[in-house]
Structure 1
Amino acid sequence: MSQQALKQRRVGQTSLQVTELGLGCASLAGIGGAVPADQARATVEHALDCGINYVDAAPQYGFGRAEHLAGDVLRQRRDGVILSTKVGRLLKPVHGERKSPHNWVDPLPFDEVYDYTYDGVMRSFEDSLQRLGVNKIDILYVHDIGFATHGSDANKQLWQQLSTGGYKALRELRDAGVISAIGLGVNEWEILMEAFELGDWDVFLLAGRYTLLEQTSLDPFLTTCIKRKASVVIGGPFNSGILVGGTTFNYAKAPEAVVDKVRRLEAVCNEFDVPLPAAALQFPLTHPAVCNVLPGPRSPAELDGILDWWKIDIPDALWTALADQKLLAPGTPVPGGAA
């Protein structure tokens, strides 16, 4: 696929232009299964060769592994690539046997400490530059702040850190031109509505909450993004695998109601001879707030499969049929109108 084949969209009101398809690096860091380092690096290389210009990493992914592996490639090919990583977790060395539970296979010998303070954000940013081995990060997200990760009481304390210090650090970095955009990367849209009360943001990375299967973030979140001129990157477009033939939804076994809805979605797609994963991959970009869809392939071959789905021409009538069968939330924007 040539670079010209991938359209680009603007990130908020910044000068950044990202390809509509990006590369998420969580899977490459070994979440749920081992990924050899050479395979991970080859996947990043292949993404760039195919014209993808947006790569997303985080300190949490493999406890530094994703940043190291992505950096191995990006150090040689930094020009023209939009790179994002995250703050909110600092990494500390682990000596001896690791005791904290985690989902990573072969992580680096570090553990995470949550820190959303001014100093924590600044240190996290500097640490990421060193792990990546680059001198420029374009987008900085606040990672996994919210009730789903921390619970109610702990999140109140961590939100206080962000609101009284961390947000200031992000603004200073952006205002100084050190980074180009700031946002949050989370799995729950509700916390993003609270973020709007802190001030302006450029882009949010929202995983799993605006997909072909679920549009819970449609209103008020996405409608507010339009008003506030903030863009959205959609992570987890396959809802943890259920939309590509898997059995997992939101990182757990899918309930029967979800399985039933997936069957109904697939039946409509079959009527138009469109694979369900292709529709799932392309659906989020029907919303004007969305600038990028961010899947996480584990190999060049998996990326090629994603690119094959990406290239499938989906007729507007498929979206209309999904809306007519009430498989999309009311008001969901689709080509030719709204559900």
Structure 2
Amino acid sequence: IAYKFKAQQAETVVEKIDVQVGRIGSLTPVGKLRPVQLAGVTISNTSLHNLDEIRRKDIRERDTVLIERAGDVIPYVIRVTKEGSPRAKPFEMPTNCPVCNAAIVHEEGEVGYFCVNANCPARMRESIRHFASKYCLDIEGLGDKLVGQLVEKGLVKELDDLFGLTKDQLSGLERMADKSAQNVLDAIQKARKTTLDRFINGLGIRHVGEHTARQLALKFKTMDALADASEDDLLGVRDIGNEVAHSIREYFDEPRNLKAVKRLIKLLDVEVPAVVEGRGALRDKTFVLTGTLESMTREEAERRIMAAGGRVTSSVSRKTDFVVAGAEPGSKLKKAQDLGVRVLDQKGLESVLAGTI
């Protein structure tokens, strides 16, 4: 029997509500909190998600709020416990981007607010961070502070500018000596050789994550074929519906995006992922991975499952065939047990891959 302690909670004051701009231009309100200790961590910021959520909880500057860490990790506001005095005006989203002053777009009936400027510095910072992240081009050493400096100093205005950086440019930045600069350049050079799914994921197309990027790479084989695909073509890809297909088509219909992709392709050595869809012993079997496996990474396990014809998803449902649970599994294991989904450890996964069980 496993017992789970109730999540710890704390009260603090929302000193200010700021707006952050994400890589696709989405605006997210963020509560700047009076620093408070919660579960061994000092909390000073929390996402307020969107305007609808703020209105539902009636959160305003100077209000005292009760916060909790979801899963003991991500802080969020439960409710207002005491109104500020005097009570601040209700929060409203800005009509112009707080970073570049471009117009903000909000469609009636939709939750999101978006900056329309593709060259917004805040969007570019987030785009570079995503492009260089582990499941995209995996450029080691390209952290938040370095990315911020590259954008602020105008050294990187488009993603392809990363591949034209010089040692002199990097070593002239704060906290960057010659050796650190060379390490970053080496990592950028190494990242030139990548797979099509990683490249697609790195572009940051709305609604396209790691799994969808892999399905697109397997289906279209080249970036030119993907860029030319119609919405009907995209709807023929496994797990892609109307919204995702429209988002992909919308991305490539923007001339600036298409030009940026073509510039990048010329600089990279892009291969199709070595996976054959729909063949092998695990054809049409659905897996979910949770926890840390003994002697293989989650990424390696996913590649082997897909090479055998299976598919890997992020959530457990009645349609899931197997949940592979390593050390310190999350809530997915409990859900699998509740639904009666078969649970495997690494040895069990290897047996399934070998076709022995």
- Give the structure-1-normalised TM-score: 0.28
Higher percent of residues as helix: 1
Larger radius of gyration: 2
